[in-house]
Amino acid sequence: MRRHHALDARPRRLALPLAAALAVLAAVVPMVAHGAPSKSELQQKISAAQQHERDLHGSVAQENTRIAGFQGSIDDLTTRLNAVETTLGVQQRQLETTQSQLRDARVKLTTLKGSLANDRKQLAAQLVAQYKSPPEDIVSVILDAKGFSGLIERVDDMRRLRVHNVSVTADVSSAQKAVALQTQKLTTLEQRRQTIANGSLLQRDQVARLRLAVVNKQLTFVHARSRTNAKLESLQSTRRDLQSSLHKIEAREAAAAATPTFGGPGSGTTSNVGGTGSFVSHGGDTGFFQAPGTNYSVNEEPELAGRLDRLGRALGLHLIGISGYRTPQHSVEVGGFADDPHTRGEASDTPGVEGVSEATLEQYGLTRPFGGAAEADHIQLLGSI
């Protein structure tokens, strides 16, 4: 309190009756809602969730081990598949060479067949001509010859015809053999091409199918691990919700333990009204802190400081007591009065408490008796006004 009117003109507030005090406590520490789990039930559920989490972590570790084991087989099969692919490359080049040879052989076979057909045509034409005009015998040639020179010419013609017949017949026979040989070569090349293609592709397909089977088995455990991780995340979320509920219950219990009970005789008051002890700060960042040179050891000051400390800790406030008990002379010097509450050890000027509502102050047995911004940090015990 700094500056105000005469104390006798201010209305005095009476102590709350027991029923009103209990109503205030009911607002501060609400009971657990009907059907909501109790603290012990929450603790049991949290313990069960933590055990389940450990089990799931174990399952994930086992699945990781199995997945890693499959990876070794997959790597080995991948190496084998790469080797097969290299072999396939060599065989593919052989196949391309064989196919080129096969194309050349087919072209040559086509040429030989054409030549054979032409030779056969010539031979057939010659046979037809001989059938229609049989060759002359030597007697006819001699009788029909016109002189010796004509005889020689006729004999030469007969010889050339005989040589031509033999040549045509030989060409046909040679062409037939060449066609047969080329056909056999073509068949061999075709079989070789098919063997190379079938063998290489079969080997590659076998390794690829084996690798795919191992990968599918690995994926089975990967999917199982994903499902386990999803269960684990859901369980952890549920466990965090349970812990949050438990923390709220513990916070309410702590608030209940820290909130003083005040009222008439037999109400279990924790007030220290009239005490002569001094308030000792517990340290830390929140609570009540007595400024150097101030006195909080007279009359209600220790109790007032204690309640302010509990209020500050509960609300996370740093409250500084800059004025507790003052002598009448000192009170006048700082702008108060010779008989104000400070001179009786009943008040504290406490920066940091200005934003706390009157209802919250009452929950801790405190009050702000004077209105206005200048007196927003002037705090006294509820019921001492």
Domain boundary among 243, 278, 308: 243
103-132 exposure pattern, b = at least 16 Cβ within 10 A, e = fewer: eebeeebeebeebbeebeeeeeeeeeeeee
Q: Is residue 230 part of a domain?
A: yes
- Please check whether residues 94 and 217 belong to one and the same domain: yes
Interior/surface letters 79-96, b for 16+ CB within 10 angstroms, e for the rest: ebbeebeeebeebeeebe
Residue 339 confidence (pLDDT): 93
Residues 225 and 361 in one domain: no
Q: Is 30 among the domain residues?
A: no
* 309 and 234 within one domain: no
Q: What is the pTM of this model?
A: 0.34
Both 235 and 308 in a single domain? Answer: no
CATH number of 213's domain: 1.10.287
Do residue 273 and residue 155 come from a single domain?
Answer: no
Structural domain of residue 275, as residue ranges?
A: 262-381
**CATH number, domain at 363?**
3.30.1380
Q: From 185, 216, 243, give the residue that closes a domain.
A: 243
Q: Around Cβ 353, how many Cβ atoms within 10 Å?
A: 25
| Overall domain count for the chain | 2
- Do the Cβ atoms of 222 and 66 come closer than 8 Å? no
The whole-number pLDDT of residue 136 equals: 60
The answer to the question of residue 10 being in a domain is no
Of 243, 278, 294, the last residue of a domain is: 243
Whether residues 223 and 347 share a domain: the answer is no
Tokens, residue 312: 């500050």
Residues 221 and 270 in one domain: no
pLDDT in tens, 265-314: 333 333 333 344 678 877 788 999 999 999 999 999 999 999 999 999 99
CB 184 within 8 Å of CB 112: no
Same domain, 299 and 201: no
| Residue 44: inside a domain | no
Would you say residue 332 lies in a domain? yes
For residues 61 and 158, membership in a common domain is answered with yes
314-333 as b/e, with b when 16 or more CB fall inside 10 Å? bbebebbbbbbbbeeeebee
Residue 45 lies in a domain: no
Q: Can you give the pLDDT of all 385 residues of the chain as single tens digits?
A: 554 433 333 333 333 333 333 333 343 334 333 456 788 888 898 889 889 989 998 888 888 888 888 888 788 777 877 877 777 777 778 778 877 877 887 787 888 778 778 877 877 776 776 666 665 666 665 656 666 676 677 667 767 777 777 787 887 788 788 888 888 888 888 887 777 767 767 777 877 888 788 888 888 888 889 999 999 899 988 988 888 888 777 666 665 554 444 333 333 333 333 344 678 877 788 999 999 999 999 999 999 999 999 999 999 999 999 999 999 999 998 888 899 999 999 999 999 999 999 999 999 999 999 988 889 999 999 876 6
227 within domain boundaries = yes
Rounded CA-CA distance 259/364 in Å is 6
pLDDT of residue 128: 73
Q: Are residues 238 and 269 in the same domain?
A: no
Burial of 11 (0-12, 13-18, 19+ CB in 10 A): exposed
100 & 166 share domain: yes
User: How many residues would you count in the chain?
Assistant: 385
- Residues 350, 234 share a domain: no
- Report the 3 state secondary structure along 254-285: HHHHHCCCCCCCCCCCCCCCCCCCCCCCCCCC
Question: Quick check: is 31 in a domain?
Answer: no
Q: Tokens standing for 355? A: 């934003």
Closest by CA to 347, choosing from 369, 314, 318, is 369
Residue with tokens 């084991």: 69
**C-alpha to C-alpha distance for 366 and 302, rounded to whole angstroms:** 13
